[in-house]
Chain A
Amino acid sequence: MVKGIIFDIKRYAIHDGPGIRTTIFMKGCPLRCWWCHNPEGISPKPDIMYFSFKCIHCHTCVKACPENAVSFDENETQHIDREECTGCGICAELCPTNALRLVGKVVTVDELIREIEKDIKFHDSSNGGVTFSGGEPLFQPEFLEDILKECKKRYIHTTVDTSGYAPTRILEKILPYTDLFLYDLKLFDEKEHIKYTGVPNELIKKNLIFLVEKKANVILRFPVIPGITDTEWNVKGWARFLSELDLSSIQEIDLLPYHDVGEKFNRLGREYKMEVHHAPSDETLKWIKEEFKGLGLQVKIGG
């Protein structure tokens, strides 16, 4: 059976689609967005996160690591050699205070559907369902397709939260089992998109057109990143692009304000490139909201 890797299951998720939802965070993403809110979802392999404030400096991890990848310097600062670390999780298992945490768990479709089933009654009452988020769920296409099919067998409403960066045939495959797409718009300009996310955006635009043509239910999501996505040039670019599409199957657009998550990057030993550390101002959110509203779209701040 196909296995997948997930890094969290959030129950009573109320911002990831209609009703009460169970959100499955799938691990692995082809993008490297500077502002990524879930950097623990980037790598398709298990990661070790280190929460320094929980560490009691017992050095159990140093002794436990089979790769000798963990050490403490003379200031008692912990270092993990990420090159050497295989994500085996032994250190996290033995860490008495959870200062080390293994993120990433390999699961079968069966195991995951059993977890989802625990929440079915919450979905029933509220017209909710399951949302596959990440990471990038389309990065594990076979697993995603299988789990979506299992959900549909059980009449569970399904939502896929995606960057749109995947071969169109994958979207086509999951389309019959996906009730709603949460679809990110980031940078309109190709070069800028490459700079801030690590990948070009042509495919993303193409896939959005594909979904719209197929009349798939879509909620667009626009991360408002100060100095990066909130420029007039970028917003207007997307607005122009959208204005040429048939928006009838696009339910709304959610503006997602940026928050500094540098600490999360630190815990993963990843570099945080963001220079701006503050959230966008209310004025910024307001004018972007107005801009998208002009297209006849319903706009929500947060989501």
Chain B
Amino acid sequence: MPVEDGQLIVGLRGTGVKEVPTYPEICVHSMQDLEILNSRQNMPYKVDEETKELYEKEIIPFWKGQAMRDIIFENLPQEWIDCYEAGIWTEFMEQRAPGHTAGGERIFKIGVLDIKEEIRKKMEELDPSDPDYYEKMEELKAMDIAADAILIYAQRYAEKLEKMAEEETDPKRKEELKQMAEICKWVPAHPPRTFWEALQHYWFIHVGVTYETNPWDSFNPGRIDQHLYPFYKKDIEESKLTREKAKELLQCFWLKFNNQPAVPKVGVTAEESFTYNDFSKLNVGGLKEDGSDGVNELSYLILEVLGEMRTLQPNTAVLVSEKNPDRFLIEALKVVGPGFGEPPFFNFDGVIVKMLRQGKSLEDARTSGVSGCVESGAFGKEAYILTGYFNLPKILEITLNNGVDPRTGKKIGLETGDPRNFKSFEELWEAFMKQVKHFMDIKMKGNDIIETLYAKYLPVPFMSLWIEDCVKNAKDYNCGGARYNTQYIQVVGLGTIADSLAAIKYHIFDKKTFTMEELLEALKNNWKGYELMREILRNPEKTPKFGNDDDYVDEIAKRVVDEVVKLIESYPPSPVRKASRRAYFLPTTVHVYFGKVTGATPDGREAGFPVSEGVSPVQGMDRRGIAAVFRSVAKCDWDKTGGALLNQKLTPDLFDSEENIKKLAQLIRTFFRLGGHHVQFNVISAELLREAQRRPQDFQDLMVRVAGYSDYFVNLPKGLQEEIIRRTEHKEL
């Protein structure tokens, strides 16, 4: 039960700061994993001898074969395993448990004792003739036990803090410890009454949820400025709190997240996704439940805290609605700067449309938000489980090889015909979509199996206490207890697939620059001997490229989004949770892994290179500036999806005056009016410009302002490049 020096909020998932428990019931780290984690250069996790011994003698022998990961792989059909190994997809649930949700208002309005009462009543109400009576009763019992556990945990903290207060010699700290002890006596048993209590209350729940399993994205308090504002306002009015004190408490809260790193992965899958940080995403702004502007004083205070803390965790999402004032965007943009891309911006009005389309009530849509990377969900009411990344460029590769994966020679796809015989682009499109469906069928079958296994073996009664309507339904979160149940596929490589299809359409079928035969040979040889062809195919002035506001290719991107979404949504609800099937377009970092397993693609990409990231244009292919990128991206109908991720590089001069920041605010507003979902800015640093000097071929799109004009950085003479680097460095100071 550690209490960090000077902290005002208690509760940690380990026995100390930055410690991480393992979850052998989900996946077992091997002795080799522990060695690698202990010794690697990048983000090492220290593993002591005692732990190693425990692992060797007890944990591995007991759990090997019984962990969820082992059970899952044992139950999945071979065709699923083949696709997984080929890199058609990844599987989220093999190393972490379902999670993918955020806290809603319930967390801040009720205490554990209230929930225990709900459980008791529900037990009384249960009808013994209900065929699910036994299941429901067991779940309620489990929930009750889990509720007791957090009460005991808080009680122990209260006792410990009291003792510490007695021993403390510094009068200020002594007082703090006393107050903390009092708070832990009240929450989480009772609903919080003050700002401080609300933060502690949430944190106990956070620790509980993340201790129970290792849920994806960890967990987060959701619309924090909305939830905390009533406490803040009341405390300020009653002079129990000052703005400064609230800020200190928020900073303490920030550190709690930052001091709780993610559980390291097992095996070599580290490269699939560098998930060594969690994805707790606090939300600010947006609308209130009644549809009015949600921005309040706390929204601004939180932005201030974000700008000062600059920690890896938690992330903060800025929800932008038409009803929010410009000031909110401007203050958020002021936090963005060189080397710090936070916070990302979200189209909240679009999130509402997405939620309504999925059948959520208007109120639940307005209290929704974004978690993880860019995932829209009805906070506190929805289990929206992400199941795996889906590699579209790889499927095109298999289509062009008539069902065979050229990397392994295995036939894992359908025989959709030799592309040399295709007479039109439409024939290719049809073949491609047939392959996509073939692989999606297998993935969905796997999803159903995995969902069933989690429902059976790994319920989460503690998390179920907090997500509506699990208690009411006497059903676990992992069994469909939540009010809304959704299952997501994360589609990856939109830019690469759009550019590849456009390159084929344009050069093979329209202009007949090359024959399919030549292209296939070039791809097979990874462009060796076909360098000129590659130059043309990857040249935005000679081949249409997504991200330049060119309908020729943007229409293809839109079609891919439309068709893939339609396909995913065509599957019936999942067997246990009755989840509807939806699509996200986001990659986290998996585009690197997907690139590694995918051969050369018709857009001029070399084998093994990363595929495009999120819904961003292929790296370096957008040459017409951010407005053109926004236009291209917004042509796709994101309202049909749960969200799409767009990263954009910007030069620091765009942030260097209030006037420019106001223009950026309007740029974001326009993107959202056009239908964009998310944008995050990476401000170009001097370091990145140096990199561009070293590898100009990779930075062809990097536009900088020189003086009265802008130019591509790599096109500038060395002296001018140096001057711009110096200017950028100056701005970083």
The answer on a CB contact under 8 Å between A12 and B708 is: no
A126 to B541, CA, bound (A): 30
- In the complex with contacts A51-B715, A122-B627, A259-B720, A19-B539 CB distance below 8 A: no
With the chains together, A163 CA to B666 CA distance in Å? 30
Any B CB within 8 A of the CB of A58: yes
Q: Residues 112-156 of chain A: 1 if any B CB is under 8 Å from the residue's CB, otherwise 0?
A: 000000110110111010000000000000000000000000000
- The contact of B666 among A101, A126, A259, by CB within 8 Å, is A126
Min C-beta distance of A168 to chain B, whole Å: 25
Measured CA separation A122–B667 after assembly (Å): 6
Q: Which of A20, A51, A98 contacts B663 (CB 8 A)?
A: A20
Give the chain B neighbours of A37 by CB distance below 8 A.
706-709
Q: Check A122 against B705 for contact (C-beta < 8 Å).
A: no
Closest B residue to A122 by CB, please name it.
B670
CB-CB nearest in chain A for B715: A51
- Taking CB atoms, residues of chain B closer than 8 Å to A10 are 625, 710
Interchain CB contact under 8 A, A122 and B539: no
- Would you call B36 an interface residue if the criterion is a C-beta within 8 Å of the partner chain's C-beta atoms? no
- The answer to whether the Cβ of B628 comes within 8 Å of any Cβ in the partner chain is yes
A34 at the interface (CB under 8 A from B): no
How far is it, in angstroms, between the C-alpha of A101 and the C-alpha of B666 when the chains are bound?
33
Contact B719 A12, beta carbon cutoff 8 Å: no
CB of B665, distance to nearest CB on chain A (Å): 8
User: B532 is contacted by which of A9, A96, A128, A259 (Cβ under 8 Å)?
Assistant: A96
On whether A11 and B716 interact (CB within 8 A), knowing A19-B663, A37-B708, the answer reads no
Is the CB–CB distance between B667 and A126 below 8 Å? yes
Those of B526-544 within 8 Å (CB) of chain A: 531-532, 535-536, 539, 541-542
Is B61 an interface residue when CB atoms closer than 8 A count as contact? no
B531: A residues at CB distance < 8 A: 56
CA distance A221 to B707 in the complex (A): 13
Interchain CB contact under 8 A, B719 and A260: yes
Partner of A277, one of B542, B624, B626, B719: B719
> Is residue A44 within 8 Å, beta carbon to beta carbon, of the partner chain?
no
Contact yes or no, A256 B696, CB < 8 A: no
Decide: A260 and B720 in contact? CB cutoff 8 A: yes
- Known contacts A12-B667, A259-B720, A119 near B627 by CB under 8 Å: yes
User: Is A107 interfacial (CB-CB < 8 Å)?
Assistant: no
Are A122 and B666 closer than 8 Å at their CB atoms? Answer: yes
**A221 CA / B539 CA spacing, docked (Å):** 37
Chain B 634-665 interface 0/1 with A at a Cβ cutoff of 8 Å (1 = within): 00000000000000000000100000101100
A residues within 8 A CB of B654?
A: 14
Which listed residue, A9, A53, A96, A128, touches B536 by the CB 8 Å rule? A96
Write the B415-448 contact mask toward A (1 if CB under 8 angstroms, else 0).
0000000000000000000000000000000000
Kindly provide the distance from the CB of A261 to the nearest chain B CB, expressed in whole angstroms. 8
A98 and B539 in contact, given A14-B660, A122-B667, A122-B670 (Cβ under 8 angstroms):
yes
Contacts of A46 in B (CB 8 A): none
Beta-carbon contacts under 8 Å, B95-134 to A: none
Q: Does A279 contact B (CB under 8 A)?
A: yes
Closest to A262 in B: B717
Q: A11-B624, A12-B626 are in contact. Are A125 and B719 (CB under 8 A)?
A: no
Chain A min CB distance to B651 (Å) = 11
13 new A-B contacts at CB < 8 Å, known A12-B625, A125-B666: A10-B625, A19-B666, A20-B663, A20-B670, A53-B696, A58-B532, A93-B542, A125-B667, A126-B666, A128-B663, A256-B707, A263-B720, A303-B708
Q: Find out whether the CB atom of B663 lies under 8 angstroms from the CB atom of A126.
A: yes
Proximity string of chain A (83-121) to chain B, C-beta cutoff 8 Å, 1 when within and 0 when not: 000000000010011100100000000000000001101
Q: Which residues of A contact B673 (CB under 8 A)?
A: 121, 125
Q: Give me the 8 closest cross-chain CB pairs, A-B, nearest first.
A: A96-B535, A126-B666, A263-B717, A11-B627, A125-B666, A12-B627, A125-B670, A259-B707
B residues less than 8 Å from A263 (CB atoms): 716-717, 720
A126 to B659, CA, bound (A): 11
Cβ of B23 to closest chain A Cβ, rounded Å? 47
A284 in the interface, Cβ–Cβ < 8 Å? no
Contact partners of B670 in chain A: CB under 8 A: 20, 121-122, 124-126
What residue in chain B is nearest A127 (Cβ atoms)?
B666
Q: Is A82's CB within 8 Å of the partner chain B?
A: no
Tell me whether chain A's interface is mostly helix, strand or loop, or mixed.
loop
Bound-complex Cα distance A261 to B541 (A): 24
Q: Is the CB of A14 within 8 A of B707?
A: no
- Is A249 an interface residue, CB under 8 A from the partner? no
CB-CB contacts below 8 Å: B661-693 with A: 662-663, 666-667, 669-670, 673-674
B549 at the interface (CB under 8 A from A): yes
Q: How far is the CB of B211 from chain A (nearest CB, A)?
A: 46
- Judge if A38 is at the interface, Cβ distance under 8 Å: yes
B542-562: CB near A (< 8 Å → 1, else 0) gives: 100000010000000000000
User: Is B510 in contact with chain A by the CB < 8 A criterion?
Assistant: no
Q: Does chain A have a CB within 8 A of B732? A: no
B interface footprint on A249-290 (CB within 8 Å = 1, 0 otherwise): 000000011111111000000000000010100000000000
The residue in chain A whose Cβ has the minimal distance to the Cβ of B696 is A53
Q: Is A15 an interface residue (CB 8 A)?
A: yes
B659 closest partner in A (C-beta): A14
With an 8 A cutoff between CB atoms, is B605 at the interface?
A: no
Question: Would A98 and B719 count as touching, CB distance under 8 A?
Answer: no
A101 CA to B663 CA in the complex, in Å? Answer: 32
CB of B74 closer than 8 Å to a CB of A: no
Across the interface, name the chain B residue whose C-beta is closest to A182.
B708
Contact check: which of B535, B667, B707 meets A20 at CB < 8 Å?
A: B667
11 A-B residue pairs with Cβ-Cβ distance under 8 Å, sorted by A, are A12-B625, A12-B626, A38-B709, A58-B532, A98-B541, A101-B541, A122-B667, A126-B666, A221-B708, A256-B708, A260-B717
When the two chains form their complex, are residues A20 and B541 in contact, meaning their CB atoms are under 8 A apart?
Answer: no
Task: State whether A125 and B625 are in contact (beta carbons under 8 Å apart), knowing that A19-B663, A97-B539 are contacts in the complex.
Answer: no
Q: Which chain A residues lie closer than 8 Å to B666 at the CB level?
A: 19-20, 122, 125-126, 128
Given A257-B707, A260-B717, A263-B717, A11 and B669 contact (CB-CB distance below 8 Å): no
Query: Which residues of chain A come closer than 8 Å to B669, judged between CB atoms?
Result: 125
What's the least CB distance linking A11 to chain B, in Å? 4
Docked CA distance A37–B711 (Å)? 11
Q: Does B723 lie at the interface of the complex (its beta carbon under 8 Å from any beta carbon of A)?
A: yes
B582 on the interface (CB 8 Å rule)? no
Task: Judge if B631 is at the interface, Cβ distance under 8 Å.
Answer: yes
Chain B residues near A58 (CB-CB < 8 A):
532
A58 to B534, CA, bound (A): 14
Tell me, in angstroms, the Cα distance from A124 to B696 when the chains sit together: 36
Contact status of A258 and B626, CB under 8 A, knowing A51-B715, A122-B670, A125-B666:
no
- Mark interface residues in A57-95 (1 if CB within 8 Å of B CB, else 0): 010000000000000000000000000000000000100
A303 and B657 alpha carbons, distance in the complex (Å)? 12
- Note all chain A residues with C-beta closer than 8 A to B696: 53
Flag if A279 contacts B723 (CB, 8 Å). Answer: yes
Partner of B707, one of A19, A98, A258: A258
Q: Which residues of A contact B541 (CB under 8 A)?
A: 98, 101
Q: Which residue of A lies closest to B626 (CB)?
A: A12
Bound: A10/B705 CA distance, A: 12
A19 to B660, CA, bound (A): 9
A11–B625 CB distance below 8 A: yes
Question: Known contacts A53-B696, A259-B723: does B717 contact A11 (CB below 8 Å)?
Answer: no
Whether A11 touches B667, Cβ cut-off 8 Å, given contacts A38-B709, A257-B707, is no
> Which residues from chain A contact B627 at a C-beta distance below 8 Å?
11-12, 20, 22, 119, 122
In the assembled complex, the Cα of A279 lies from the Cα of B669 at a distance in Å of 36
Q: Which of A197-235 contact B (CB under 8 A)?
A: 221, 223
Q: Given the complex of chains A and B, what is the CA–CA distance between A56 and B535 in angstroms?
A: 10
A256 contacts which chain B residues (CB < 8 A)?
707-708
Q: How far is the CA of A35 from the CA of B619 in the complex (A)?
A: 34
**Min C-beta distance of B669 to chain A, whole Å:** 5
Residue of chain B at shortest CB distance from A16? B708
Interface centre among B628, B709, B716 (most CB of A within 10 A): B709
A301 → B minimal CB distance (Å): 11
User: Residue on A with the closest CB to B631?
Assistant: A118
